[in-house]
Amino acid sequence: MSESSIAHLVIDGLRRSEIDTLFCLPGVQNDDFFNALVDARDITPIVTRHEQGAAYMAMGAAQVTGRPSAFCVVPGPGALNATAGLTSAYWGYARVLAVIGQIATTMQGRDIGTLHDLNDQTSVLRQVTKEAIAIAEPADGAALVQRAIDSLHSGVPRPVSLEVPVDVWARPADGIIETPTVTHPRPVEAGIEQAARLLSEARRPLIIVGSGAYDASASVIELAELLQAAVTTRRQGHGVVPTAHPQFLPLTAAYHLWPEVDVVLGIGTRMEWPLNIWGVDDNLSLIQINIDPDEVDRHGIAAVAINADADDACRALIETIGPIGRPSVAADVAARRADFDRYTAHLVPQRSYTAAIRQAVPDDCVLVEDVTQIGFACHLFYDHLAPRTFLTSGAAGTLGAGTAVAIGASAVADVPVVGIVGDGGFMFTATELATAVQHNIPCNIVLFNDGAFGNVRRIQQTRFGHDRTIASKLVNPDFQKLADSFGLRSWRVDSPASLAPALTEAIDHDGPSLVEVTVDEMPDPWPFMRLPANRGPLAG
């Protein structure tokens, strides 16, 4: 292999992106790449047990740091196995570089069934990335690798794929990979002035934040305090404004405020539920700040659409609005939160378990949710203290991702990471516990075991009758023996009181751990989450 090959250019791209961990599963189409990686001592390969695990781990690493991460898998079935992780990273807004092999250039597009053949693999990847790049000729290699990392670092935080055919990896290639050129849209002065005027005149403003506001926490809080606006989030903006802040409202309490709001400011959020479920009318002015140009006015109803980085836009608004001396909304918010506590008091198991987790973990702990009962409860009840401490697959709603995402986050984070999973979702990626043990990744998995796909089962009972359940009960292995077979330290508990000390011990333990929590059926939280329209028609 030439010392300046396509493989070396891709490795240089990882270095220029400051990616020092590569989640991967080697295979024949990528042998030349891994041969070059042997000499790249500054990049640590973490070998996973399934391609979906590699993609989920890269997603977790990108989400917890806010920086790019990468994984590498073979084409065809390898690429398809990874697409669940890519669509999760797409909707979880994670900067993931997917390095994916490809069959030989002479075999592509012929549909003759060569090993790992996938007709038009690039088109498949285009559906789950913001850009799908394929290298066909070595002469284009440097430019395309550069384009991939520039795109990875710029604009909307979403995955980028880079495909390299088996017969191209080792071929000589000229060129140098430079530090990524990072481009972001800047706020337009006219839009800032218009938004500032609406916000200054608002009688009852509301701010809704999403993951696009993670790096704007300080400016969002300053703007909210200036406007004396209540702040809420659905699931991906948790911690931007800490839940203990006197202006933060849980989603359900914000729903009850919604009919009174005259100006709503969305910051780094698609505002899916308010616009598509709660409804809008002519008395509501919508201001959207989003780095994604497709989201600033997707429904054609925004009074002001600001395509910009959240922090830049918030600071411009603060400067333009200036001191306005608004009366405090703290008392009103406190009253609404007290009401929320009263009408959700019967959700005792969920509230108690989220409190026990908060009690057990340090302030800087990162929580990773799978699609599970306590994960849902964390949207409403968990005490979120800072951005990037609650990781989720967002709109993808990916059952089974949590264990692997938690392992990936723990592999690169210098703080404790706890994955919240159910017994159904756990089995999707439980094999990746072998990865955690092999690489001594100190992730902590809290497994809630009710012997069912609990959410599915309850919905079946609610909609069709208590005796109309189907395909929702589970027969599980002995999870304690399973953990022991992996070489994992494990605990089994059956209450919030016993969970807290067990989880504390698990976090203090040097290495990966599993805490199994046996639980019964839980009361339904959905009446306090997916609420009916309470204002005008739906935006969608």
Q: Where are the domains of the chain?
A: 6-165, 189-336, 344-527
pLDDT score of 532: 93
What backbone torsions phi and psi does residue 363 show, to the nearest 5 degrees? -60, -35
pLDDT score of 1: 61
Return the ∠ at Cα 81 (arms to 77 and 82), rounded to 5°: 120
Contacts of 56 (CB under 8 A, 6+ apart): 84, 85, 88, 401, 404, 405, 408, 429, 432
Q: How far is CA 392 from CA 352, 360, 386, 533, in A?
A: 21, 21, 15, 25
pLDDT score of 540: 61
User: How many C-beta neighbours within 10 Å does residue 260 have?
Assistant: 11
Is residue 499 classed as helix, strand or coil in its secondary structure?
A: helix
In the CATH scheme, what architecture does the domain 344-527 have? 3-Layer(aba) Sandwich (3.40)
Contacts of 64 (CB under 8 A, 6+ apart): 366, 388, 391, 409, 412, 413, 417
Note whether 6-165 and 344-527 share their fold: yes
Tens digit of pLDDT per residue, the chain (540 long)?
Answer: 657 899 999 999 999 999 999 999 999 999 999 999 999 999 999 999 999 999 999 999 999 999 999 999 999 999 999 999 999 999 999 999 999 999 999 999 999 999 999 999 999 999 999 999 999 999 999 999 999 999 999 999 999 999 999 999 999 999 999 999 999 999 999 999 999 999 999 999 999 999 999 999 999 999 999 999 999 999 899 999 999 999 999 999 999 999 999 999 999 999 988 998 999 999 999 999 999 999 999 999 999 999 999 999 999 999 999 999 999 999 999 999 999 999 999 999 999 999 999 999 999 999 999 999 999 999 999 999 999 999 999 999 999 999 999 999 999 999 999 999 999 999 999 999 999 999 999 999 999 999 999 989 999 999 999 999 999 999 999 999 999 999 999 999 999 999 999 999 999 999 999 999 999 999 999 899 889 999 987 776
Q: Distance between alpha carbon 62 and the CA centroid of its chain, in Å?
A: 9
d(CA 173, CA 49): 32
For domain 6-165, say whether CATH 3.40.50.970 is its number: yes
d(CA 317, CA 216): 13
Environment class of residue 327 by beta-carbon count within 10 Å: exposed (0-12), middle (13-18) or buried (19+)? Answer: exposed
Chain length of the chain: 540
Q: CA torsion 415→88→519→233, rounded to 10°?
A: 70
pLDDT score of 501: 98
Contacts of 100 (CB under 8 A, 6+ apart): 72, 73, 74, 75, 78, 79, 82, 121, 125, 161, 162, 163, 164
Comparing CA positions, the residue from 100, 84, 80, 81 lying closest to residue 92 is 84
d(CA 236, CA 211): 5
CA contacts within 13 A on the Cβ side of 52? 19
Give bridge partners of residue 517 from the DSSP assignment: 448, 493
CATH H-level superfamily of 189-336: TPP-binding domain (3.40.50.1220)
pLDDT score of 3: 72
Q: Which amino acid would we find at residue 19?
A: I
d(CA 500, CA 360): 5
